[in-house]
Structure 1
Amino acid sequence: MPIITLLTDFGNQDGYVAAMKGVILSRAPDVTLVDITHAIAPQAVLQAAYVLAQAAPFFPTGAIHVAVVDPGVGSARRPLAIQTSTAIFVGPDNGLFTDVLDSGAVTACVHLDRPRFWRDNPSSTFHGRDIFAPVAAHLAQQVSLNILGTPINDPVRLLLPKPQRQPDGTLTGAIIHVDHFGNLISNIPAAWLSVARWQVHIGPATIDGIQPSFAAAPVGALLAYRGSAGTLEVAVRNGSAAQALGAEVGQTLAAEPHSH
């Protein structure tokens, strides 16, 4: 029984997500549909790429991931499907699948340019319903990528910020995601935090030490910790670090080693 996941910036107050589900179930009634989220900020491709990269690896092999955050809908941007060794990804060619493309696991990538696999008379503003949903249903019924589109080797990639190790041992990076709790997720790998003691600098704040858990800090205090995604994170216990610091995606931070 194939699994199809959905990730969009559509919200839940309109009928857009339900329309996509209806198209899929009309063509592949036995699939299991899973919502990753529909609360991506409008047009926030970088946020969508991050959330997809965090969720997709935990699904069973063979899952089909439909991700639609698509500010270029109706333009010359291509509809895309990507096969990896464990999954298939379907959505716009706008960098949303950068982490997938950089994973080294891609086995095929196609431009979805064969309208016979879409809904008739597709809307220029709703490719989620009229292209991506029917293509996902075909994939769930074992239609191969090379039938659904033309192979390409130049999918769009986002220029993602990279963490750096400075000569003095300081680690520098950027906030790449702010989660629902206001936690600030950086791109500095937790594995780089090898020495015993660090000071984390972000905006006007300096945080002493890396805590093992939220509970290790007093209520309302800023803390730095190794997050579940495997990178350095900053939080406020029982509060929002984003609100406390006025921080957002792209803000820089640094971790400075201390010997005592």
Structure 2
Amino acid sequence: MSKNRIITLLTDFGLSDVYVGVMKGAIAQINSQLKVIDITHQIPSQNIAAARFCLMAAFAYFPPETVHIAVVDPGVGSNRRAVAVKCANCFLVGPDNGLFSGVLSRESAIAAVELTNSQYWRSPQPSSTFHGRDIFAAVGAHLAIGVPLEELGRAVRPASLVQLQIPNCAVTATGATGFVQYVDRFGNLITNIPNNCIIGNNWSLTISNSSDAIRIPSGKTYSDSNPGELIAIIGSDGWLEIAVNGGSAQSVLQLQFGDKVEIIYRDYV
């Protein structure tokens, strides 16, 4: 049964408190040889949508059977389910609150369980405020050393896992419409418009969240605009993003998650 699968951690815990270190300690108590990789612990507090995006952006870069423990859990201690999910190329462990819905839009869920078997928890009486330590870290470590998914709890239908309601990009006669799905630490506004919805280079981006529409030229790199100017490019993960050369597009435009953006081909301007 023994394996040494990689574990990743993604949380909104930050790095100034002990929470991340304690989770790693709980993993090491089960097997100190397990490799644990931090994806990020700087998810904005309780921002499930940001966690969804970051895990979706990261998971494909890890080896098959990696165990991804993700804890952004505003419902900790409530009746929300704690789950583990087996996918074709990875495992997911965390709260069933929609943060896995990005990965599951790209990776089919083969099986899922609610984590009801306390034998695999750190304690049969977990804290009501720190399931990351007492349930998710311990369960993830047991998965990583080869405990079968079905031993961890009661089987649930993968289709019953919570889906975060994220609108789709829509292709139109004159371009495409979408919305901001993530803001990174540089202030780049990453939309949900993928590069396969954009034809050629003859397009610009329009923001109409105020009375005056703002048109943003397209380019291939951040430096295709002058310092301080807005530009729309396709980022490294294939999503259209809005940037400022040497600055923050979020600060300039004051856009947030869910704000609408629209591509317009110049033939229709």
Q: TM over 0.5: same fold?
A: yes
Aligned residue pairs total: 258
Q: Which residue does the alignment assign to 1:127?
A: 131
Q: Structure 1 stretches of 5 or more lacking a match?
A: none
Does residue 240 of structure 2 align to residue 232 of structure 1? yes
Aligned-residue offset at 1:104:
4.6
1:59: how far off?
A: 0.4
Bigger shift: residues 127-136 or 115-124: 115-124
Gaps of 5+ in 2: none
- TM-score, normalised by the number of residues in structure 2: 0.93
Is the counterpart of residue 11 in structure 1 residue 11 in structure 2? Answer: no
1:164 — aligned with what?
A: 170
Cα deviation, 1:96-146, whole Å, max 9, x if unaligned, reads 111222225211111111111112221011000000011011111100100
**Aligned partner (choices 27, 40, 52) of residue 30 of structure 2:** 27
Contact 1:61 1:86 in 2 (8 A): yes
- Structure 1: how far apart are the matches of 2:232 and 2:58? 23
Match of 1:146 in 2: 150
1:221 equivalent in structure 2:
229
Aligned-residue Cα RMSD (Å) equals: 1.2
Equivalent residue letter for 1:125: T
Could you report, residue by residue, the CA deviation over 1:59-84 in whole angstroms, capped at 9, with x for unpaired residues? 01111100000000000001000111
* 1:70 pairs with 2:79: no
Contact kept? 2:175, 2:198, Cα under 8 Å: no
- The alpha-carbon distance between structure 1 residues 104 and 16, as it changes in their structure 2 partners (threshold 3 A), is closer
Which runs of 4 or more aligned residues in structure 1 lie more than 6 Å from their structure 2 counterparts after TM superposition?
none
Q: TM-score, normalised by structure 1?
A: 0.96
Shift of 1:151: 1.2
**What does 1:49-198 align with in structure 2 at a 5 Å threshold?**
49-120=52-123, 121-153=125-157, 154-166=160-172, 168-198=173-203
Determine the C-alpha separation between the residues in 1 that align with 2:42 and 2:232.
26
